[in-house]
Structure 1
């Protein structure tokens, strides 16, 4: 049975809170959840879940199936209306596609949200490596190249929040020593790129570069290329990834003028 997501019912004493608790009960691997499972994951009463889920179905945020409920296309439509992410994705896509054509490996665009990276786009072909990432998905900052470079170009208080907190070990090679992670972040600022060597998933390596704001010190997003450790050499693609991220940063800066 899947773990209960960390969506606690705190704050779900309102109709909106109950609706959000139900929507957030769906994990990355969930397609359909029965009513009983939604009740278990949210901690809400069964009649409440049934009533609120029915409202969400009527508003096209959930779909009702013969086996339970699933997230609806209405959520996708709302997501596409998020102005900042939509503009970022539209401007980034040519650079992501060019980078994919250069490498024919998996290309990501991500942004930082708290202590996680949220993947805005993922491009991969038949050769793409098995990666735990997915569009709209999240990963901890400390175990991915894209997360490390986003953190590297974040305020120092955000460094402290990650370095002083528990660092989850996702694989035997995940960096969980704060001192080592700090050195990697410092080097990322010096070189403009960060690396992952089988830290989020066995057999996966990656290189990432920040898309900087005009101040040159803060990242608005990051671009990465990843591939299988058996043949992909992330260091050899650092220049191409850095160039794509720099070009996107310049395009965003011109757009804001």
Structure 2
């Protein structure tokens, strides 16, 4: 922020940042309050954003994120090509498990979900497309952190590790050992770390330079879950996406066929 106050760009970004989970629809005064702007300034900028399509005003007078902004965000290169190539494998994994299937990338010290397929009768999840979660608490996050550059790992380990449930790993030494196991085994299993009722199994997705560019996971009910039954399907799907992205190691090894996972697909129907 400059001595003269926030720039127009900072004010606009403040308005857009006012929206989020639990704040999907806001009044003009609510936007002004959340963005720390005078009502007159908020009125002018919100009007310009609505005219462009970044915001939409409903019949109730509240503003919501507009489709124009979604269209622009969908062009983000890290999600655009990734989602297109990943979708056939995500759909196969979804059909095999009839559970929640997620694809995520790392942005700084957080996970950003770029796709999610959710069965209506599957265990609940708190993720959403475009949503963020801490790296230490999720299966996809632990995979992305395990294969992140060492400086990133050290920054996360040195900083606060948010706890979403009593089972979330918040001890840096325990997390360090967990990340080593993920690198060694090529899979992360998180039981009750986001929600006590759910368990996730995640695997890395590699790009053409062999770097891990994303992570794929299946979220299943924690009660009675047998991760060893789920791991092969998750690994096969992640390898298939990696092959579609041009990863040499995935081309050398068969991507495999994702077959129904016993005890999962039947339970969800």
TM-score by length of 2: 0.87
Task: State how far apart, in whole Å, the 2-side matches of 1:238 and 1:10 are.
Answer: 54
Gaps of 5+ in 1: 1-7
Task: State how far apart, in whole Å, the 1-side matches of 2:70 and 2:28 are.
Answer: 22
**Cα 1:17/1:232, change in 2 over 3 Å:** same
**Cα 1:9/1:183, change in 2 over 3 Å:** farther
Q: Relative CO higher for 1 or 2, CA cutoff 8 Å, sep ≥ 6?
A: 2
Task: State how far apart, in whole Å, the 2-side matches of 1:86 and 1:118 are.
Answer: 14
User: What residue in structure 1 maps to residue 170 of structure 2?
Assistant: 176
Question: How much does 1:23 deviate?
Answer: 0.6
Q: Of the candidates 70, 74, 79, which is equivalent to residue 80 of structure 1?
A: 74
User: What residue in structure 2 maps to residue 4 of structure 1?
Assistant: none
Task: State how far apart, in whole Å, the 1-side matches of 2:61 and 2:224 are.
Answer: 42
TM-score by length of 1: 0.90
Asked whether the equivalents of residues 11 and 17 of structure 1 are also in contact (C-alpha less than 8 Å), the reply is no
Written as runs of structure 1 = structure 2, the 5 A alignment for 1:58-69 is: 58-65=51-58, 66-69=60-63
Alignment deviations for residues 209-248 of structure 1 (CA, whole Å, 9 cap, x no partner): 00023444x3100100001112433332111111111121
Q: Is 1:155–2:149 an aligned residue pair?
A: yes
Written as runs of structure 1 = structure 2, the 5 A alignment for 1:218-233 is: 218-233=211-226
**Cα 1:184/1:10, change in 2 over 3 Å:** farther
Q: Report the aligned-residue RMSD.
A: 2.1
Task: State how far apart, in whole Å, the 1-side matches of 2:4 and 2:187 are.
Answer: 39
**Cα 1:136/1:117, change in 2 over 3 Å:** same
Asked whether the equivalents of residues 226 and 234 of structure 1 are also in contact (C-alpha less than 8 Å), the reply is no
Report the count of equivalent residues: 247
Task: State how far apart, in whole Å, the 2-side matches of 1:110 and 1:86 are.
Answer: 12
Alignment deviations for residues 94-113 of structure 1 (CA, whole Å, 9 cap, x no partner): 00001111111100000000
Q: Is 1:144–2:138 an aligned residue pair?
A: yes
Gaps of 5+ in 2: 249-269
Runs of 4+ in 1 over 6 A off after TM superposition: 8-12
Question: How much does 1:11 deviate?
Answer: 11
Q: Is 1:128–2:129 an aligned residue pair?
A: no
